[in-house]
Chain A
């Protein structure tokens, strides 16, 4: 569960970063969406604490103990684009939730002690629920048209 907690926390942090980046680049709509995603991940983290009745943060496993560079629920740092649309943001979220789901399924099917496997199964169910929610959400936003990332102006010189 400590890993799950670290995962949620890292995901929360990354979405918050994205929100900030897109704010600066005047993409308020997607920034707002990332802020929501960030908030959701922080709620997840909070709920794990409450469920585990941990008085405070547990000793985290080394953050880079994942098979991949970062937690399976963490979006890649270069996943964003300044002209991206809500659908793209949700696509990122979907990928993250799917990865998280697969991660926990892997533990549940593995050699871990029964207690851990049981918890992993619960987490996998939860992530599956998140995947469903994101998919629903994606249906409610317009799909981007081809050429969404075209900018008629060249980049600017700032220094």
Chain B
């Protein structure tokens, strides 16, 4: 009876026994499943993987995995992951975030993580709303979406994460959809394999505050063209895309962040600089 269970056990190895608090039907369940599946496919061990997050629905993910997890403060997942990966390049580091955590309060870190190109996989679950604080507009919320905090809508144009990632120097840009957990897993797997920073924007419907997003499954479609390594072409594609193209949309060749070398001196030897 072991045999048929084999593939399940492998993905399950990456799940903790802490039960998610997400609403039933939430897209984030699929991301969790996709992450565990991708890590299993990659043949990694949970103790060699770290999942880092900030605050929000999406950021609950680390504790639901059996990997080392870091659930930090709002907006700061990328710096934590950057420090961790720079100090421990042997680890596989995933970063989980949402549109509020990653694009609003953590927006500056997003730009610089793209530019710095540390070998991280950045998974942003975008549902165009703040869920944990009960439904306020986020940077990706449509201008006319009405809420208690912004009656009648914010009137503000949406933030375009993929274009911003490209402009900031991101080297792997993909969009996934939680209605396709297998596709999502495949993209995560590809992103982890990609050297340097990889960014996956995951359309992850909020069934509680944005129930209309259940309709996304009829809108998404595979990107009609192969990924490009030409940033100019990618810029045109991303600027004009309908927001529902799924797949790797840009993959460049920029070298990852340069890490330190082995020690060449003892700490005591550094004293000579001060000696008279």
Contacts and interface: CB of A to CB of B under 8 A. Distances in A.
Contact of A46 (B4, B134, B178, B207): B4
Given A17-B29, A78-B214, A159-B132, A25 B8 contact: no
B133 A159 contact: yes
Contacts of B22: 21
Interface residues of A, number: 39
B23 A82 contact: yes
A24 B4 contact: no
Interface in A25-67: 25, 27, 42, 45-46, 49, 54-57, 60, 63-64
A124 to B, nearest CB: 22
16 contacts: A9-B8, A17-B33, A20-B19, A21-B20, A24-B20, A56-B3, A64-B182, A69-B217, A78-B214, A80-B24, A155-B134, A155-B135, A155-B208, A156-B134, A157-B132, A158-B132
A70 interface: yes
Contacts of B33: 13, 17
B171 to A, nearest CB: 25
Report, nearest first, the 3 A-B pairs whose CB atoms are least far apart.
A56-B3, A69-B180, A80-B24
Nearest to B216: A78
Nearest to A18: B24
Contact of B4 (A49, A156, A158): A49
A49 B3 contact: yes
A100 interface: no
Contact of A157 (B6, B134, B179, B209): B134
Contact size class for B? Answer: 35 or more
A159 B19 contact: no
Nearest to B22: A21
Contacts of A63: 182
A55 B3 contact: yes
Most chain B CB inside 10 Å of its own CB: which residue of A69, A77, A155: A77
Interface string B194-234: 00000000000101110000100100000000000000000
B1 interface: yes
A81 interface: yes
Contact of B6 (A27, A57, A78): A57
B30 A77 contact: yes
A54 B24 CA distance: 36
Given A13-B8, A159-B55, A70 B182 contact: yes
Nearest to A31: B24
A76 B217 contact: yes
Contacts of A159: 55-56, 132-133
A93 B203 CA distance: 25
B81 to A, nearest CB: 20
